[in-house]
């Protein structure tokens, strides 16, 4: 595959993400001073790219595009000058974007990727080794499920071996192809992801129109090629319409037959030449609040035609939990949840009116709702996927495959991606849940070494609140004082990974969650945090961080939780007294149970305490929202399978049954 331009390497950071943050304005191009020569009107130098000690002949410069004050004819000449140098490889564009680049060497994973591309009959380009996709040396190509590459005959002959670039879900995969049917996966694959948001082909007759912000005589009315939650691309003639990266548009109208126009601003992010459509012009949208809500609703319908957000009442979800067997997890049954139904219905109704706090998603076949999931933000910036269940009985053919899982996962996570304060994705995965482990644990491990992800093992214990407390004459239990909060906070930050601390709302020095409480309370939802400490001889030896969430939000009560932290060597001895006080607190709130998230390996007596049900060992995975596209790409690979008889790579992912973050019964998934 074509190597990255070495002059761009200063923008490659250690995380594997290439970004042009040094030049934040879209439209900047860089090139060797000796090659570019003198720039035409409308282009101005914004800085040198490389070291000062280099000879002038090797000095690279950056040019910004600003055509204000030029006549249209002169502006077109300047853009033609830019396009000519880009086409000849004498200049490179530095549009504002991030680029995730990953070299895949592990053969089991390569086999999974190849299997997914074959199953989806992926499309892309084949090209001479070292050429760029979309250039004169590339040919449109498509994989077949049988394992061959079909080349567009109009592209002319292409001698093997050749490079291929094939589209996945969020990424493109680049590797060398022998030209023969697939006998074995390649040795390496390069995965490149250039967009944060996934795009989908625009509906027929969707168009954009606006007056050029610099020349009123230029009126643009162009077909929209594709859409995302944050932008779109147009098919038009960029030279004629004088569109270039960095151009800010005002009074953009997005309209379709019979629809109410959406009015907003936009910025041109990229201009790409296409043989059949002139140019493709990418826009990021600047949407006012009402227009943003309308655009999100419309684009969600395009991206996820079979899933619906917030469109079903609590009864639909309850029926799905019953039919899917979700209520039978951890040795329970549907009757155990009967008393929670009213609380669940109230919480569900409130959450439907609180999109900044949570959302519910449902995938439907032509007959009924087949699978459901929830997202909720229990701590500021953190979102948790939960209550994921799928009907196993008598699915119609249209919902029998794993596309239903991909659609539900992508809708739930792409919704989080739209939340302005979203920072972390937290998932609880029970160790015996094999498919969930493949999704969340395997992906998280890839990013552990670089510090971009976190994984913590813990044991989930369900604690009944109606158990009498044991006598305690050794420790004083009470609310934490300000100085004790500071001490406890320091201990937690020292003993837990930074991502863990930040994602679970433990990052403030007083362990407070005031923004979260305020966000929930504005929608009438209960949210609180209490801090208890155990003292011995007047000094703190252990602390309990107790999170309280609206009754009925989580049917297994996993958001009503306590975490215990030793502050001194006597700390573990005080855990029992802290748990007894926590029982009294939740009992006073009308709760019959709460969850003890035991992630301290020294507390081995937790499961033996009276009134305790062991929900099993689990992991808490934490990913930054910036890796959300990688998560969905991973789900795409795992849910893309061909029949075993046609498999060439041998990879196989079993179809999951009812999925939940915690906890399936022993031996089930």
Query: What pLDDT does residue 663 have?
Result: 33
Query: What pLDDT does residue 9 have?
Result: 29
To which residue do tokens 């569900």 refer?
Answer: 348
Dist CA 390 CA 604 (whole Å): 35
Token pair of 529 as six digits: 């945090």
**CATH code reported for the domain at 200-302:** 2.40.10.220
Residue range 300-329, pLDDT digits in tens: 999 999 999 999 999 999 999 999 888 988
Terminal CA-to-CA distance of the chain, rounded, Å?
41
pLDDT surpassing 60 at residue 509: yes
Query: What pLDDT does residue 191 have?
Result: 96
**What mean pLDDT is predicted for residues 573-600?**
94
Dist CA 599 CA 124 (whole Å): 46
The pTM of the full predicted model, rounded to 2 decimals, is 0.85
Q: Helices H, strands E: what count in the chain? A: 15, 31
3-state secondary structure of 637: helix
pLDDT surpassing 60 at residue 157: yes
Task: Quote the CATH superfamily of domain 305-448+624-646.
Answer: Gcn5-related N-acetyltransferase (GNAT) (3.40.630.30)
Decide the pairing of beta strands 138-143 and 149-151. Answer: antiparallel
Token pair of 304 as six digits: 């996820």
Q: For a pLDDT cut of 70, what percent of the chain falls above it?
A: 85
pLDDT surpassing 50 at residue 219: yes
Q: 263, exposed or middle or buried, with CB in 10 Å at 0-12, 13-18, 19+?
A: middle
Q: Which has the minimum average pLDDT: 131-135, 307-311, 476-480, 625-629?
A: 131-135
pLDDT surpassing 60 at residue 136: no
Instruction: With beta carbons less than 8 A apart as the criterion, state whether 226 and 204 touch.
Output: no
Token pair of 592 as six digits: 């019959």
Query: What pLDDT does residue 162 have?
Result: 86
Q: Which has the minimum average pLDDT: 221-230, 384-393, 412-421, 513-522?
A: 384-393
If one compares 513 and 197, the residue with the highest pLDDT of the two is 513
Query: What pLDDT does residue 398 have?
Result: 59
Dist CA 173 CA 1 (whole Å): 10
Query: What pLDDT does residue 235 have?
Result: 93
| Closest-CA residue to 606 (of 629, 580, 576, 627) | 576
| Mean pLDDT, rounded, of the chain | 85
**What are the C-alpha distances in Å from 589 to residues 341, 465, 545, 577?**
17, 10, 16, 19
**What mean pLDDT is predicted for residues 463-470?**
91
**What are the C-alpha distances in Å from 611 to residues 125, 248, 338, 579?**
61, 63, 20, 11
Instruction: With beta carbons less than 8 A apart as the criterion, state whether 219 and 247 touch.
Output: no
**What mean pLDDT is predicted for residues 388-409?**
77
Dist CA 48 CA 660 (whole Å): 53
pLDDT surpassing 80 at residue 516: yes
Sign of the C-alpha dihedral, residues 25, 30, 36, 38?
A: positive
DSSP at 127: E
Main-chain phi, psi angles of 73, to 5 degrees: -65, -45
**What mean pLDDT is predicted for residues 198-222?**
94
Dist CA 592 CA 343 (whole Å): 13
Q: For a pLDDT cut of 90, what percent of the chain falls above it?
A: 59
Query: What pLDDT does residue 273 have?
Result: 78
3-state secondary structure of 156: coil
Query: What pLDDT does residue 367 have?
Result: 85
SS (H, E, C) 498-545: HHHHHHCCCCCCCCCCHHHHHHHHCCCCCEEEEEEEEEECCEEEEEEE
Residue range 448-463, pLDDT digits in tens: 999 999 999 999 999 9
Q: What is the dihedral of CA 332, 334, 339, 344, to 10 degrees?
A: 100
Instruction: With beta carbons less than 8 A apart as the criterion, state whether 360 and 320 touch.
Output: no
Task: Quote the CATH superfamily of domain 457-620.
Answer: Gcn5-related N-acetyltransferase (GNAT) (3.40.630.30)
CB atoms within 10 A of CB 570: 16
Query: What pLDDT does residue 276 have?
Result: 58
pLDDT surpassing 50 at residue 625: yes
Dist CA 237 CA 240 (whole Å): 5
**What are the C-alpha distances in Å from 101 to residues 2, 18, 28, 98?**
13, 7, 21, 10
Dist CA 543 CA 571 (whole Å): 8
pLDDT surpassing 80 at residue 184: no
Instruction: With beta carbons less than 8 A apart as the criterion, state whether 132 and 139 touch.
Output: no
If one compares 23 and 441, the residue with the highest pLDDT of the two is 441
H helix or E strand, kind and range, residue 590:
none
**What mean pLDDT is predicted for residues 621-649?**
81
- Is the preceding peptide bond at 13 cis, omega within 30 degrees of 0? no
H helix or E strand, kind and range, residue 128:
none
Residue 473 pLDDT grade (very low, low, confident, very high; cuts 50, 70, 90): confident
If one compares 667 and 465, the residue with the highest pLDDT of the two is 465
Main-chain phi, psi angles of 638, to 5 degrees: -70, -25
pLDDT surpassing 70 at residue 49: no
| Closest-CA residue to 616 (of 652, 553, 567, 665) | 665
Dist CA 421 CA 515 (whole Å): 11
Dist CA 552 CA 134 (whole Å): 53
pLDDT surpassing 60 at residue 11: no
Token pair of 244 as six digits: 């270039």
Token pair of 261 as six digits: 């126009």
Dist CA 320 CA 322 (whole Å): 5
Dist CA 202 CA 108 (whole Å): 36
Decide the pairing of beta strands 561-566 and 593-598. Answer: parallel
């Amino acid at each position: 595959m074509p190597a990255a331009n070495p002059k761009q390497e200063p923008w490659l950071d250690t995380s594997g993400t290439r970004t042009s943050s040094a030049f934040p304005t879209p439209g900047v191009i860089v090139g060797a001073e000796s090659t570019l020569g003198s720039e035409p009107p409308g282009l101005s130098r914004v800085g040198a790219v490389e070291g000062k000690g280099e000879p002038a002949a090797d000095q690279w410069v950056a040019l910004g595009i600003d055509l204000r004050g030029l006549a249209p004819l002169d502006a077109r000449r300047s853009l033609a000058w830019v396009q000519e140098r880009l086409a000849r490889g004498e200049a490179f564009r530095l549009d504002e974007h991030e680029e995730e680049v990953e070299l895949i060497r592990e053969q089991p994973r390569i086999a999974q990727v190849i299997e997914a591309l074959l199953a989806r009959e992926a499309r892309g380009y084949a090209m001479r080794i070292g050429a760029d996709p979309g250039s004169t040396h590339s040919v449109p190509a498509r994989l077949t499920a049988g394992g061959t590459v079909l080349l567009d005959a109009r592209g002319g002959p292409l001698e093997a071996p050749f490079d291929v670039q094939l589209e996945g879900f969020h990424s493109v995969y680049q590797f060398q192809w022998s030209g023969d049917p697939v006998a074995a996966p390649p040795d390496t694959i390069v995965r490149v992801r250039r967009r944060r948001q996934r795009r989908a082909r625009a509906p027929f007759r969707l168009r954009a129109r606006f007056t050029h912000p610099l020349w009123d005589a230029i009126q643009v009315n162009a077909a929209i090629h594709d859409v995302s939650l944050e932008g779109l691309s147009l098919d038009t003639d960029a030279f004629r319409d004088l569109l270039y990266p960095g151009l800010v548009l005002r009074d953009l109208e997005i309209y379709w037959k019979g629809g109410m126009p959406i009015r907003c601003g936009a910025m041109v992010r990229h201009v790409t030449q296409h043989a059949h459509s002139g140019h493709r012009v990418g826009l990021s949208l600047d949407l006012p609040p009402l227009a943003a809500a309308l655009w999100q609703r419309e684009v969600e319908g395009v991206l996820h035609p079979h899933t619906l957000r917030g469109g079903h009442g609590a009864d639909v979800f309850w029926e799905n939990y019953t039919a899917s067997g979700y209520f039978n997890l951890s040795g329970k049954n549907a009757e155990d949840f009967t008393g929670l139904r009213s609380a669940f219905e109230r919480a569900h109704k409130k959450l439907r009116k609180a999109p900044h706090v949570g959302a519910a998603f449902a995938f439907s076949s032509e007959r009924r709702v087949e699978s459901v999931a929830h997202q909720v933000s229990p701590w500021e910036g953190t979102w948790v996927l939960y209550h994921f269940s799928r009907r196993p009985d008598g699915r119609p053919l249209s919902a029998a495959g794993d596309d239903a899982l991909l659609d539900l996962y992508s809708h739930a996570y792409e919704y989080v991606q739209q939340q302005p304060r979203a920072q972390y994705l937290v998932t609880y995965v029970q160790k015996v849940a094999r498919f969930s482990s493949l999704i969340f644990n395997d992906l998280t491990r890839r990013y552990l070494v670089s510090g971009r992800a976190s994984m913590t093992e813990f044991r989930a214990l369900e604690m009944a609140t109606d158990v009498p407390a044991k006598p305690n004459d050794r420790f004083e239990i009470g609310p934490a004082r300000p100085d004790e909060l500071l001490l406890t906070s320091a201990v937690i930050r020292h003993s837990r990974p930074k991502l863990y601390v930040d994602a679970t709302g433990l990052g403030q020095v007083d362990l407070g969650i005031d923004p979260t409480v305020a966000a929930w309370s504005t929608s009438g939802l209960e949210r609180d945090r209490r801090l208890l400490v155990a003292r011995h001889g007047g000094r703190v030896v252990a602390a309990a961080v107790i999170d309280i969430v609206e009754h009925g939000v989580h049917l297994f009560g996993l958001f009503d939780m306590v975490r215990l932290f030793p502050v001194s060597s006597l700390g573990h001895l005080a855990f029992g007294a802290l748990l007894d006080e926590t029982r009294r607190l939740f009992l006073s709130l009308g709760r019959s149970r709460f969850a003890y998230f035991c992630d301290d390996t020294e507390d081995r007596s937790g499961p033996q305490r009276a009134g305790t049900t062991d929900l099993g060992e689990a992991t808490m995975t934490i990913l930054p929202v910036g890796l959300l596209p990688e998560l969905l790409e991973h789900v795409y690979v795992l849910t893309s399978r061909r029949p075993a008889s046609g498999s060439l790579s041998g990879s196989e992912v079993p179809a999951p049954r009812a999925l939940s973050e915690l906890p399936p019964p022993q031996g089930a998934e």
